[in-house]
A and B are shown apart, each in its own frame.
Chain A
Amino acid sequence: MSRPVLEVTDLKKIYGQGEATVHALRGVSLTVERGDYVAIMGSSGSGKSTLMNILGALDTPSSGRYLLDGVDVSRLSDGQLALARNRLIGFIFQAFNLIPRTSAVANVELPLAYAGVKPKERRRRAMAALDVVGLADRAGHEPNQLSGGQQQRVAVARALVTEPALLLADEPTGNLDSKSTDDVLQVFDDLSAAGRTIVIITHEKEVGDRAKRLIRLVDGGIVTDARQSPLHLPPVGAARVAHGRAMVAGRHTR
């Protein structure tokens, strides 16, 4: 077994001071092996978004250790952090976070641009990623010309496009209709089947059921951590893989 993709030890996050102190995370320890598909469930205010932001290297913990791919994130310089976010992590936000007044394909290209990929190659890969989420025909649309579901699918394509080792999704299906939800989850299943590591936050049971491992978070602490399907096998959802999807997933295999 190679080293874990993600290893957090006694992670704490405290907001505010004195009377107003809020313990968003009260010592979370978690190890995610390569190829795992983890769903984190919890009610609002349980600290799951805070955990996600720390895992995505967007925020820093108050205390505790976070090893990403064996590297202590707290010791990375600003430039190295930027590199880690670009190469290792694909982040899907709850609020889409597309860049306004910029076409869908340009949004998807953005991480590749920061990675230094040549424009031609960039366009090709961005279009392929948009095709995965079924929006190739909307490539030229700007975010305000797309529905919420479509915007989230563009954001998914943007997270996929760098083929990151770790895919972090913060309630990705919260704003999607059932058809889009199914499409996006299918993409996650395919990626998981292809060996990619995925951590997803949700409060939908349907989403949690498809993951290989389900973690429940209450008041900033892990209460249950259950394996639902074996780590080395494809997730349950991948059984429904269509032929075309398998092709796409295959491309993401290292």
Chain B
Amino acid sequence: MNFFEVIRFSLRGLSANKLRSALTMLGILIGVAAVILLVAVGNGSAKAISDRIEALGTNTITVMSTGRGGSSSTSLTKDMADALVDEQMAPDVKSVSPVVSSSSATMTYEGTDHSVATFVGTTPAWFTASTTPVERGSAFTDDDVAQGRRVVVIGKTVAEELFPGVDPIGKQVTVGGALFTIVGVLADKSSTGFDDANDRAVAPLTAVQQVLTGYGALTSIIVEAADPDRVDAVQGQVATILNQKLDVDPSSTSTPYRIQNASSLLETQSQTAATFTTLLGAVAAISLLVGGIGITNIMLVTVTERTREIGIRKALGAPRRVILTQFLIEASLLSVLGGALGVAAALIGSQFSIVGVKPVIVPSSIGYAVGVSIAIGLFFGGLPAARAARLRPIDALRYE
């Protein structure tokens, strides 16, 4: 009685009741697929969020004013931005980019209008600090900023809107009544939230202040740390300098500015996402457990129903081991096949985006889900089978 023979017996046992076998497998299939897919969705959404945050730049902090309106005592100024470049007090600061932005600028080229979502005025350091590299052409220079030259780098969306099929570099556009020369196009950038990150234009700070925003407060200051590990240190240094500049009482809990730290934001977000993933996984694990109970139930029914058959087999000289193996293989075939189909279903399902999230499969979840389903099948299938195989043949034969 070799092993293949026992497998053949098991297959015959399973195929004798096809519908029941199929339904049991379906239970495991759904359980396994749910675990893998839901964990993948959780993981995918966590990844999407962290990608977006990383796109903001993880080694930068953004200083924003909390003051409403233009009260000069609380607003951020170019002077403050310059003060942040200080070897002594802020040794970990790599660059400081003062930013003014306008959301109501209209760019016109040969009669075509485009309302630019964000028109940014800043310094060249902004391009690296905000991880927004220039794809074609070039960025403007410090000299351009110093001279207030009207040059502009536009985003992908702006380029497509105003210059369909035409190379925009060197063209002149009208913004707020002034002529700007396009010197570059920004690389494609993944969007944060609902805003189109490609619908923007970047020009020297001085030019934008002159033409659009005036010489008032800055919208924000982007400070780039020398090293991603030093972001927190930079945050402290920046806070110290700003407190001096703005005459903030050190004991005061509220400051007229707000510091946004992308890496701490990322940390918080990934913690939230991990909780979310665990929650989804737990829900799915319950469905896997239900699938496992399905196998247990079916194996109990199968063994009970076939106790007579076990008696006949024993009377014909089947050793206990062979009978036990047959039922164990039946149980594990159900769980292995169900599990494999579940993995296949999950892999197919992960090709589609679910509720706007592209699932990212976690390999360990596959092992976990399949392992649990097999363990359940073997244990709870084996238990009643072992009991039946131990019966004396006559007791098994008399079993009703």
Contacts and interface: CB of A to CB of B under 8 A. Distances in A.
Interface string B283-306: 000000000000000000000000
A37 interface: no
A47 to B, nearest CB: 14
B239 to A, nearest CB: 79
Given A59-B392, A97-B397, A99-B309, A158 B316 contact: yes
Given A59-B394, A114-B322, A99 B313 contact: yes
Interface SS of B by simple majority: helix
Chain A CB count within 10 A is highest, among B12, B311, B316, B318, for B316
B392 A111 contact: no
B322 A58 contact: no
A98 B308 CA distance: 10
Given A99-B309, A101-B16, A111 B397 contact: no
A82 B319 contact: yes
A114 B393 contact: no
Given A60-B392, A99-B309, A102-B12, A114 B318 contact: yes
Contacts, number: 74
Nearest to B4: A119
B315 A85 contact: yes
Interface in A85-118: 85-87, 91, 93, 97-102, 106, 110-111, 113-116
Contacts of A78: 319-320
B5 A79 contact: no
8 contacts: A58-B314, A59-B394, A78-B319, A91-B315, A99-B313, A110-B316, A111-B316, A115-B1
Interface in A42-100: 53, 56-60, 78-79, 82-87, 91, 93, 97-100
Given A113-B9, A115-B317, 9 more contacts: A58-B394, A78-B320, A84-B317, A85-B315, A87-B317, A91-B316, A114-B319, A116-B2, A158-B316
A158 B1 CA distance: 17
A100 B5 contact: no
Contact of A82 (B2, B309, B317, B394): B317
Nearest to A57: B393
B314 A97 contact: no
B16 to A, nearest CB: 4
B397 A113 contact: no
Nearest to A162: B317
Nearest to A54: B394
A60 B393 CA distance: 10
B312 interface: yes
B317 A83 contact: yes
B314 A85 contact: yes
Interface of A: 53, 56-60, 78-79, 82-87, 91, 93, 97-102, 106, 110-111, 113-116, 158, 162
A176 B2 CA distance: 36
Contacts of A91: 315-316
Contacts of A116: 1-2
B320 A82 contact: yes
B309 A114 contact: no
Contact of B5 (A53, A102, A113): A113
Contact of B1 (A79, A84, A102, A113): A113
Nearest to A90: B316
A114 B316 contact: yes
Contacts of A59: 392-394
A84 B311 CA distance: 15
A34 B378 CA distance: 46
A85 B316 contact: yes
Chain A CB count within 10 A is highest, among B309, B321, B393, for B393
Contacts of B393: 57-59, 85
A1 B1 CA distance: 35
A114 B1 contact: yes
Nearest to B309: A99
B7 to A, nearest CB: 12
A189 B186 CA distance: 101
B56 to A, nearest CB: 66
Interface string B124-137: 00000000000000
A209 to B, nearest CB: 29
Contact of B317 (A101, A102, A111): A111
B314 A82 contact: yes
A79 B1 CA distance: 13
B8 to A, nearest CB: 9
Interface string B19-30: 000000000000
Given A83-B317, A85-B315, A115-B317, A100 B394 contact: no
Nearest to A159: B316
Contacts of A83: 317, 319
A56 B316 CA distance: 10
A53 B392 CA distance: 11
A114 B393 CA distance: 15
Given A58-B394, A59-B392, A114 B317 contact: yes
A60 B9 CA distance: 29
Nearest to A49: B394
A111 to B, nearest CB: 4
Given A78-B320, A113-B1, A116-B1, A97 B392 contact: no
Contacts of A82: 314, 317-320
Contact of B313 (A93, A110, A162): A110
Contact of A58 (B1, B318, B397): B397
